[in-house]
Amino acid sequence: MSRKWKRTLLAWTLLAPLVVLILFPFAVMTITALKPQAEVLNPTWWPSELRLRNFADMWVATNFGQALMNSLYASGIATVGAILVSIPAAYAMSRFRFAGRGLVRQFLLVSQMLSPIVLVVGLFRLMASLGLVESVSAVGLVYMAFNIAFTVWMLQSYFDTVPKDLEEAAWMEGAGRAETLRRVFLPLVTPAIAVTAIFTFINAWNEFVIALTLLRRQESYTLPIQVFSLVAGRYTVEWHHVMGATLVATLPVAILFAWLQRYLVRGLALGAVK
From CA 105, how far away is CA 108, in angstroms rounded?
5
From the CB of residue 137, how many other CB atoms can be counted at a distance below 10 Å? 11
Write down the pLDDT at residue 25.
85
Residue 273 confidence (pLDDT): 45
Tell which residue, 75, 34, 2, 120, has the closest CA to residue 255. Answer: 75
In the chain, what are the domains?
1-51 (no CATH), 61-272 (1.10.3720.10)
* Successive 10-residue mean pLDDT values, the chain, 274 residues: 77 85 85 82 76 85 88 94 91 79 78 79 88 90 91 85 76 75 79 86 90 88 89 75 86 78 58 46
Confidence at residue 263, expressed as pLDDT on a 0 to 100 scale: 64
How far apart (Å, rounded) are the C-alpha atoms in residues 166 and 175? 11
Cβ neighbors of 183 (< 8 A, separation 6 or more) are 170, 175
Determine the pLDDT at residue 136.
92
